[in-house]
């Protein structure tokens, strides 16, 4: 469920800009990103278009060291690169068989708009303006 393609060296989390669950995950990643390594870009934005991110599979993407990863592998790598508590989550995800973790990821991705009942969108928060790409 992931694809790899050539990109530059930036660490970019591509997320659904219309999804409150996704926006909450991005805010959490920003808070634990102690080394300020991650950048964030909506899947619907110009940056995702330049990187030719496929929007058809309903999943986040993560750009790292010349590759783009999708689904649970994108989440695992984003957590790992954020550091802090993200490393613990990355280890938990790694411990699961890839078929199970991708199934779980896809279930959450398909149901994400029903999992969050809040209608407010308060992204970005402090410190994110310089890390958020169009």
- Domain ranges within the chain, ordered by starting residue: 11-115
Span 7-66, pLDDT tens digits = 446 899 999 888 888 888 999 999 999 889 999 999 999 999 998 888 876 679 999 987
Q: Who's near 60: CB < 8 A, 6+ residues apart?
A: 13, 14, 15, 16, 22, 43, 70, 71, 74, 75, 78, 109
- 10: buried, middle or exposed (CB in 10 Å: 19+, 13-18, 0-12)? middle
Span 101-111, pLDDT tens digits = 999 999 988 88
As a whole number of angstroms, the distance between CA 7 and CA 103 comes to: 27
- For residue 59, give the 3-state DSSP assignment: coil
């Amino acid at each position: 469920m992931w694809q790899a393609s050539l990109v530059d060296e930036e660490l970019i989390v591509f997320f659904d800009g219309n999804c409150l669950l996704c926006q909450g995950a991005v805010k959490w990643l920003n808070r634990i990103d102690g080394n300020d390594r991650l950048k964030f870009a909506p899947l619907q934005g110009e940056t995702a278009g330049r990187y030719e991110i496929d929007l058809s599979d309903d999943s986040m993407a993560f750009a790292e060291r010349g590759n783009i990863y999708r689904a649970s592998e994108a989440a695992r790598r984003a957590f790992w690169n954020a550091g802090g508590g993200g490393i613990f989550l990355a280890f938990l995800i790694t411990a699961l068989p890839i078929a199970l973790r991708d199934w779980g990821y896809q279930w959450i991705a398909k149901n994400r708009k029903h999992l969050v009942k809040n209608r407010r969108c308060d992204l970005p928060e402090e410190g994110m303006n310089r890390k958020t790409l169009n």
